[in-house]
Chains A and B, each alone.
Chain A
Amino acid sequence: MSSDLYRQQVLQHARAPVNRRINNNATIKVRGDNPLCGDQLDVYVCTCKERIDDVSFEGSACAISIASASMMSTMLSGQRQQDVADTTAQVLDMLNSDPQAPIPGTLQAQPVAALAAVRHYPSRVKCATLPWQAAAEALAGGASRVTTETNNH
């Protein structure tokens, strides 16, 4: 079963993450904490007018979190802000859904669909959701720090 979770698409992003870098010029920076394991990811978002210019991240986290963050950065960079909020909500819903639930059509062709396997590993779901939660918070303009333990995600 772990071969389902640690698939090539996931492992590629874990081994050679895209956009794993600190961005001191970011418009918004949010730190995501997973207090259950001590993992931390900083998500940097640069906005320009209504578009997201750039999303990057850095931190200490497991392969699933890193892969998820890497996929997220490629997926969100260049999107319109209003679309990003929808995408982020959709991905979080997918990762938190029942293992048998279908993957939404809009996500099926995306690399992040490979992470849906995490739904079979209840203790690992938060690893996958951590970067997305931080991004959601960054876009909502709320806290500068989120944890996996403060809401249903």
Chain B
Amino acid sequence: MSPLREQFPALHQQVNGHTLAYLDSAASSQRAQPVIDAMQAYEHADHANVHRGVHTLSHRATDAYESSREDVARFINANHSREVIFTRGTTEGINLVAYSFLLPRLKTGDEIVLTHLEHHANIVPWQLIAERTGACIKVAPVEDDGRVDAEAVTALLNDKTVMVAISAVSNALGTILPLADIIPAAKARGIPVLVDGAQAVPHSVVDVQALDADFFVFSAHKMVGPTGIGVLWGREAILEDMQPWQGGGDMINEVRFEGTTFAKLPYKFEAGTPNIVGAVGLGAAVRFLEQVGMADIAAWEQYLLDYLTQQMQAQDDIRLIGTAPNKAAVLSFLMDDVHPHDLGTIVDQKGVAIRTGHHCAMPVMQHFDVPGTARASLAFYNNTDDIDALVEALADVRRMLR
């Protein structure tokens, strides 16, 4: 795996006098050199606006943008690239579905089913549209080990349920949710399902057709790509049926003051000049991940997660938050009598980058009755040295704060 690490220039630096141990990939991953190169090449030579120009650069920009869409469609096994909508990221994808798909059909008494593990991005958009309409949110509970049982979700489904919105992997705890048991139950009742795939796409093979949800959203910056771009995959028939979200250029067929007709998919949902260089970076990220191989990535990360978990469990004053049987790449923990922020600041002085706080998942923290946790999260470019650096830095924390 180490030649791979060479392809992440940010990892090869000293931070506060120590080799960087980057353990915050669940917040944002580092970028692979091929991603940086592809974006730079585009910026240097190929940039123009997409879809409109008759000149060569506009053709190149359009080709680059659209071939990234093809890359993404192949990567997630979409039926067609028309189903791949470029967004600003996961958050925008969820908002698009909330406002364009659900809100127009939402009415008083309707129920939206979430889980207690969701990121704020998969809670607040639904709350906002529920407040407007008198619909309500039903929350499937999380168990004390951080798992969510499929039955806990399916038990909430009834004739009033109009949407299930659920993450594939919890960003705060790393729990892998039992989608294979939840989605068929929702589909059997004709209930549409949105999957927040932000924490799943970087770590495992995603096949949206096999998953059989109706919407799947994710962000490029968590999968070695750039910030400011993400994907909403939606089932074509549903996307066709939906109203446009934002109006503007690129999303129209014909505009008259008497009325406007809208462009076909996917452009109907891509108003305005898009993040072209972002799409170029996302396409390069996808090709890079394919080259490494998602199955190998998943296996290596599982090895690292097991190693990290064992190292942390060996320390008496460390309490793991989230010990579900099925987990991916994330370890949330607390050290006795030490606030996570102090811990995070002190390990940073040893070059160890972790996240501290509520991880935009305050309901999860409330469940465990903690204001926040320290979270080490892994990517395939990590190694056991990174984990050892964290463990050593924790000794510093003890020395300073006890």
Contacts and interface: CB of A to CB of B under 8 A. Distances in A.
Interface of A: 1-3, 5-6, 11, 14-15, 36-40, 60-64, 121, 124, 127
B358 A5 contact: no
Given A37-B358, A61-B339, A62-B342, A2 B349 contact: yes
A147 to B, nearest CB: 14
Interface in B334-361: 338-342, 345-346, 348-349, 356-358
Interface residues of B, number: 20
Contacts of B340: 62
A14 B401 contact: yes
Which residue among B365, B400, B402 has the maximum number of chain A CB atoms within 10 Å of its CB?
Answer: B400
B362 A124 contact: no
A124 to B, nearest CB: 6
Contacts of B16: 1
B339 A2 contact: no
A37 B348 contact: no
Interface in B35-72: none
Interface of B: 16, 338-342, 345-346, 348-349, 356-358, 362, 365, 371-372, 400-402
B359 to A, nearest CB: 11
Q: When A and B form their complex, which 6 residue pairs have the shortest distance between CB atoms, in order from nearest?
A: A38-B371, A62-B339, A2-B349, A62-B341, A63-B342, A62-B342
Contacts of B400: 2-3, 6, 11
Contacts of A124: 341, 345
12 contacts: A2-B345, A2-B349, A2-B400, A5-B345, A11-B400, A11-B401, A14-B401, A36-B357, A37-B372, A61-B339, A62-B341, A63-B342
A6 B357 contact: no
Contacts of B357: 36-38
A60 to B, nearest CB: 6
Contact of A60 (B356, B371, B402): B371
Given A36-B357, A38-B357, A38-B358, A1 B341 contact: no
B401 A1 contact: no
Given A2-B346, A6-B345, A6-B346, 6 more contacts: A2-B348, A3-B349, A11-B400, A60-B371, A64-B341, A64-B342
Contacts of B402: 15
A3 B17 CA distance: 14
Contacts of B362: 38
A64 to B, nearest CB: 7
Contacts of A39: 339, 371
Contacts of B365: 38
A39 B16 CA distance: 27
B368 to A, nearest CB: 12
Contacts of A63: 338-339, 342, 401
A148 B362 CA distance: 17
Nearest to A2: B349
Which residue among B341, B349, B356 has the maximum number of chain A CB atoms within 10 Å of its CB?
Answer: B341
B111 to A, nearest CB: 29
A67 to B, nearest CB: 10
Contact of B371 (A5, A37, A64, A127): A37
A38 B348 CA distance: 21
A111 B371 CA distance: 28
A121 B338 CA distance: 18
Contacts of B356: 37
A109 B371 CA distance: 34
Nearest to A64: B342
Nearest to B348: A2
Contact of B349 (A1, A36, A60, A64): A1
A61 B401 CA distance: 14
A121 B345 CA distance: 8
A6 B401 contact: yes
